[in-house]
């Protein structure tokens, strides 16, 4: 049988031990793995590994030993409680073996839990589970998590007392981050708030959210946008030491000033424009971008984007002989001088 997304969310949290099996498939391996972990923990409890009530095997192993799965589901355990056999990374090459095991499954046997990558509608593995009366198949897609799913993750992480503004930012993070990164962020936030009974604040989230790998680039762009031209040179030397090239610096600067322009040119003003940014910004970075957008204004930001576009074209020109980083540094200094002009 095929479960819808809403039905699947409930089933992962409370699986039926009387069913013969479950297939979870999807293009995002981390998303599939997290749901499989949730389902097995709910089905078997926290001590399944120690009590040997969970057997793991690779889908590829079934080609060399077709009896491996059937022997595992029929094996009698030493400890009482539900049992499961987990088949990881299965493909259609193992469909015949898995389907045969489903057909031979009897009440009291270990439940068959299978994970796979993206499967077509014509997949033999999908058809085997979707057409079986006591087995389920669930396809996971790259849809943003629902509010209920986010709240479940927060509860699982032990996070409480979350105001509306913080919940809104957490929802944005859930949409922008991969499932694995989002799960790690909540775990980090939980540890960060351990022993702290106050509400989760935007500053707490900012401290725990994944930091940009371009932190030094952000420093340069902040200095430029705020007109502190004397600090540009040393920061660019630092970027060079980290391996950043001129083209990457120019692209990063263009992206930053486009963000400022999107805020400043919004009909409702920069304060309204910043709320429309995707991915969203929050915390101190939000305040900094809003201040910069309001200080520059749309006309000067148009000039800045023209300077950066001309610099980018110069960098990519076949006849360019000047040092690339020097060209970008000169452009950034021009922008910082423009920031101070009236």
pLDDT surpassing 60 at residue 214: no
Query: 279 preceded by cis ω (within 30°)?
Result: yes
- Distances in Å between the Cα of 148 and the Cα atoms of 9, 164, 241 are 9, 15, 46
**So what's the pLDDT on residue 107?**
93
CATH architecture of 5-140: 3-Layer(aba) Sandwich (3.40)
Q: How confident is the model at residue 111 (pLDDT cuts 50, 70, 90)?
A: very high
The answer, yes or no, to whether residue 342 has pLDDT greater than 70, is: no
Q: Cα 299 to chain center, whole Å? A: 36
Show Cβ contacts of residue 292 under 8 Å, excluding neighbours closer than 6 positions: 222, 225, 226, 260
* Residue among 81, 18, 21 at smallest CA distance from 47: 81
Work out the percent of the chain whose per-residue pLDDT is above 70. Answer: 96
- Cα 337 to the chain's mean position, in Å? 38
Residues 273 and 160: their CA atoms lie apart, in Å, by 31
pLDDT digits (tens, 9 = 90+) for 123-142: 999 999 999 999 999 998 87
- pLDDT of 295 reads 83
> What pLDDT score does 145 carry?
78
Tens of pLDDT along 6-53? 888 889 989 999 999 999 999 888 889 989 999 999 999 989 988 999
pLDDT of residue 128: 94
| Position with higher pLDDT, 71 vs 204 | 71
Q: Are 80 and 43 in contact (CB under 8 A)?
A: no
DSSP string, 209-255: SPPPTTHHHHHHHHHHHTT-GGGHHHHHHHHHHTT--HHHHHHHHHH
Answer whether 5-140 and 215-340 agree in fold: no
The length of the chain is 342
Q: What is the mean pLDDT of residues 315-335?
A: 83
- pLDDT tens-digit series, residues 276-313: 887 677 777 788 888 888 888 888 888 999 999 988 88
**Cα Rg of the chain, angstroms:** 27
CATH class of the domain comprising 215-340: mainly alpha
**Token representation of residue 224:** 């430029």
pLDDT digits (tens, 9 = 90+) for 231-261: 888 888 877 777 778 888 888 889 888 888 8
Asked whether the predicted pLDDT for residue 3 surpasses 60, the reply is yes
pTM above 0.85, yes or no: no
Residue extents of the structural domains in the chain:
5-140, 147-208, 215-340
Residue 213, pLDDT score: 40
- Looking at residue 211, its pLDDT comes to 55
Check residue 157 and give its pLDDT.
83
The pLDDT score that the predictor gives to residue 215 is 56
Q: Considering the chain, what is the average pLDDT of its residues? A: 86
- DSSP states of 256-325: HHHHHHHHHT-TT-HHHHGGG-SS---HHHHHHHHHHHHHHHHHHHHHHHHHHHHHHHHHH-TT--S-HH
What pLDDT does 63 receive?
A: 87
* CA 136/CA 219 separation, integer angstroms: 51
Question: What is the Cα–Cα distance from 219 to 148, expressed in whole angstroms?
Answer: 37
Cα distance between residue 169 and residue 302, in whole Å: 30
- The CA distance from 327 to 273, in Å, is 31
Phi, psi of 52 (to 5 degrees): 55, 40
- What confidence tier does 216 reach under pLDDT thresholds 50, 70, 90? low
56-65, 88-97, 238-247: lowest mean pLDDT where? 238-247
Of 292, 209, 297, 307, the C-alpha closest to 254 is: 307
Distance CA 295, CA 330 (A): 22
Average pLDDT over residues 253-274: 86
Maximum separation of any 2 CA atoms in the chain, in Å? 82
Which tens digits make up the pLDDT trace of 179-207? 777 888 888 888 988 888 888 888 888 77
Provide the token pair at 54. Answer: 């969970």
């Amino acid at each position: 049988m095929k479960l819808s997304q809403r039905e699947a969310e409930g089933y992962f949290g409370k699986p039926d031990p009387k069913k013969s099996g479950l297939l979870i498939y999807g293009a995002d391996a981390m998303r599939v793995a997290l749901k499989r972990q949730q389902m097995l923990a709910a089905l078997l409890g926290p001590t399944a590994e120690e009590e040997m009530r969970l057997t793991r095997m690779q889908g590829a192993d079934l080609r060399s030993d077709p009896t491996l799965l059937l022997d595992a589901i029929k094996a009698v355990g030493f400890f009482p409680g539900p049992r499961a056999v987990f088949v990881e990374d299965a493909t259609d090459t193992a469909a015949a073996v898995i389907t045969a095991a489903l057909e031979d499954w009897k009440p009291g046997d270990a439940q068959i839990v299978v994970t796979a990558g993206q499967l077509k509608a014509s997949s033999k593995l999908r058809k085997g589970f979707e057409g079986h009366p006591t087995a389920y198949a669930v396809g996971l897609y790259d849809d943003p998590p629902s509010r209920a799913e986010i709240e479940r993750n927060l509860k699982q992480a032990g996070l409480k007392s979350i105001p509306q503004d913080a919940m809104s930012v957490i929802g944005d993070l859930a949409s922008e981050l991969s499932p694995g990164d989002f799960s790690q962020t909540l775990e980090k936030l939980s540890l960060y708030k351990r022993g702290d009974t106050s509400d989760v604040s935007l500053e707490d989230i900012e401290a725990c959210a994944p930091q940009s790998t371009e932190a030094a680039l952000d420093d340069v762009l902040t200095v430029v946008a705020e007109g502190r031209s004397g600090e540009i040179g040393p920061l660019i030397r630092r970027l060079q030491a980290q391996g950043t090239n001129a083209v990457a610096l120019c692209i990063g600067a263009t992206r930053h000033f486009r963000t400022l322009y999107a805020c400043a040119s919004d009909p409702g003003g920069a304060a309204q424009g910043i709320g429309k940014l995707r991915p969203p910004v929050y915390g101190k970075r939000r305040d900094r971008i809003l201040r910069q957008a309001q200080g520059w204004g749309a006309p000067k930001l148009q000039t800045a984007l023209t300077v950066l576009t001309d610099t980018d074209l110069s960098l990519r020109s076949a006849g360019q002989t000047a040092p690339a980083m020097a060209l970008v540094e000169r452009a950034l200094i021009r922008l910082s001088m423009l920031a101070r002009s009236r």
